C-alpha cells in the first residue's frame, strides 16, 4: 500500500510576492491526486517533527532560530530566496514530521511499504547550520537520520533527482558512510555545488547534467552509473528527494525532461527498494515551479509508486 502524508499547515508557509515557491504548488499536487485512480491512497495527516528528530541533523541554534524567528504578522527574509512567515514554523515541522512518520510506517512491518510526502517547504538545501533555497529544515535528512537512530538501519540510500543539487543533504551526511547520497542535477546552477569530485567518505555520488540535456542523457546517467552504485550499496531503505523542476516547462532550470521520465526513474527506484529493502521507499516533495508540469510529474511519480 502507498500512504500519502500531507497537512493543511503546509499551505500556510508564505514566501511573499514574486517567490516561485508558493502554496499553489502543493495545491496543484493535491488536486492532481484527487482523482478516482488514486482512491487507493492511504491519506494521513502529517504529525510535527520533534526537536529531538530535528537535532539529529541540525545544529541546536539553527532549530531554535527557525522556530523563534517567525514573525507575528509579516514575513521575514532570511536570504534572497528564503522567507519566514507566521505559518512557516508549523509548515516546516509538519513537512519534516511527514518524512519521519513515513519512515516509521514503512519500517514497522505492517501493510505500508511506500509513502509519498506531499509537503512544503522543501528541504534538501537546508544545511546543518542554515536555511537556504526555500528550505528551512532538511526533511529527507531528518528522515534518514531517524531511520538510523530509531530503527537501527545500517544502509540508507537517498536518491535526489531535483534539478538543483541537494547541497544540504550532502553537507549533513558528508562523513556518514551509512547513508549513500546519489544526485543528478543541472550544472552550473544554484546552489553551485554538486561537482563529481565532491565525494564525502565515498558515499556522495554527484552526476551533473548540462543545460539542454534531455531524457536520453538523464536515463543513461541513472541506468549506467547511479542505479548500479545504489544496487551495490544494498540499501535497507530508499529515500527520494522528488523534485520535478528538471521538467522542460520549469522556469528555474534548463533541462528537458517530461512526466514520463519521472515515471521511469520512480519505477527504477521502486525496483531498487523491492530488491534490497523489502519494498520500503519514502519520497518527499522538493522542487517544481510550473504548476501544470508539477501536477503531471507528481501524478506520474505517485502512479509509479502505486504499481
Q: pTM for this structure?
A: 0.98
- So what's the pLDDT on residue 269? 99
Query: What whole-number distance in Å separates Cα of residue 21 and Cα of residue 136?
Result: 13
276 belongs to the catalytic site: no
Query: What whole-number distance in Å separates Cα of residue 207 and Cα of residue 197?
Result: 10
Label residue 196 exposed, middle or buried (CB < 10 Å: 0-12, 13-18, 19+).
Answer: exposed
End-to-end CA distance of the chain: 9
- So what's the pLDDT on residue 118? 99
- So what's the pLDDT on residue 75? 81
Distances (CA, A) of 197 to 17, 181, 193, 260, 270: 38, 14, 10, 30, 28
- So what's the pLDDT on residue 215? 98
Cell digits for 268? Answer: 527504477
Label residue 212 exposed, middle or buried (CB < 10 Å: 0-12, 13-18, 19+).
Answer: exposed
- So what's the pLDDT on residue 14? 94
Long-range contacts of 10-13 (CB under 8 A, 24+ apart): 10/46, 10/91, 10/94, 10/95, 10/118, 10/119, 10/120, 10/121, 11/91, 11/120, 12/85, 12/86, 12/87, 12/88, 12/90, 12/91, 13/85, 13/87, 13/88, 13/91, 13/92, 13/120, 13/121
Residue 91, H or E segment: helix 88-107
- So what's the pLDDT on residue 212? 98
- So what's the pLDDT on residue 68? 84
Which domains are delineated in the chain? 2-306 (3.40.800.20)
- Which of the residues in the chain have pLDDT under 50? none
User: For 120, left (φ over 0), alpha (ψ -120 to 50), or beta?
Assistant: beta
Instruction: Give me the catalytic one of 7, 13, 58, 125.
Output: 125
Query: What whole-number distance in Å separates Cα of residue 238 and Cα of residue 29?
Result: 22
Amino acid at each position: 500500500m502507498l500512504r500519502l502524508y500531507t497537512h493543511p499547515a503546509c499551505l500556510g508557509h508564505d514566501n511573499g510576492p514574486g517567490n516561485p515557491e508558493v502554496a499553489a504548488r502543493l495545491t496543484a499536487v493535491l488536486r492532481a491526486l484527487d482523482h478516482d485512480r488514486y482512491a487507493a491512497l492511504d491519506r494521513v495527516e502529517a504529525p510535527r517533527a520533534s526537536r529531538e528528530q530535528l537535532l539529529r541533523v541540525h545544529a541546536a541554534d539553527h532549530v531554535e532560530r527557525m522556530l523563534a524567528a517567525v514573525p507575528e504578522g509579516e514575513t521575514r527574509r532570511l536570504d534572497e530566496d528564503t522567507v519566514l512567515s507566521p505559518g512557516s514554523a508549523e509548515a516546516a515541522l509538519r513537512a519534516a514530521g511527514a518524512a519521519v512518520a513515513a519512515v516509521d510506517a514503512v519500517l514497522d512491518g505492517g501493510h505500508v511499504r511506500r509513502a509519498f510526502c506531499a509537503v512544503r517547504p522543501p528541504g534538501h538545501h537546508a544545511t546543518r547550520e542554515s536555511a537556504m533555497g526555500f528550505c528551512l529544515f532538511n526533511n529527507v535528512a531528518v528522515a534518514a537520520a531517524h531511520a538510523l537512530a530509531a530503527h537501527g538501519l545500517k544502509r540508507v540510500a537517498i536518491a535526489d533527482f531535483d534539478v538543483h543539487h541537494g547541497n544540504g543533504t550532502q553537507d549533513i551526511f558528508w562523513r556518514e558512510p551509512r547513508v549513500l547520497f546519489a544526485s543528478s542535477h543541472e550544472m552550473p546552477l544554484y546552489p553551485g555545488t554538486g561537482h563529481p569530485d565532491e565525494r564525502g567518505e565515498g558515499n556522495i555520488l554527484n552526476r551533473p547534467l548540462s543545460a539542454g540535456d534531455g531524457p536520453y542523457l538523464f536515463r543513461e546517467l541513472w541506468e549506467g552509473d547511479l542505479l548500479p552504485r545504489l544496487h551495490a550499496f544494498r540499501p535497507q531503505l530508499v529515500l527520494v528527494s522528488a523534485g520535478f523542476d528538471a521538467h522542460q516547462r520549469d522556469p528555474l532550470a534548463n533541462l528537458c525532461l517530461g512526466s514520463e521520465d519521472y515515471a521511469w526513474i520512480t519505477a527504477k527506484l521502486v525496483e531498487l527498494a523491492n530488491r534490497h529493502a523489502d519494498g520500503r521507499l519514502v519520497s518527499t516533495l522538493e522542487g517544481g515551479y510550473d504548476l501544470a508540469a508539477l501536477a503531471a510529474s507528481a501524478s506520474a511519480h505517485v502512479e509509479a509508486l502505486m504499481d
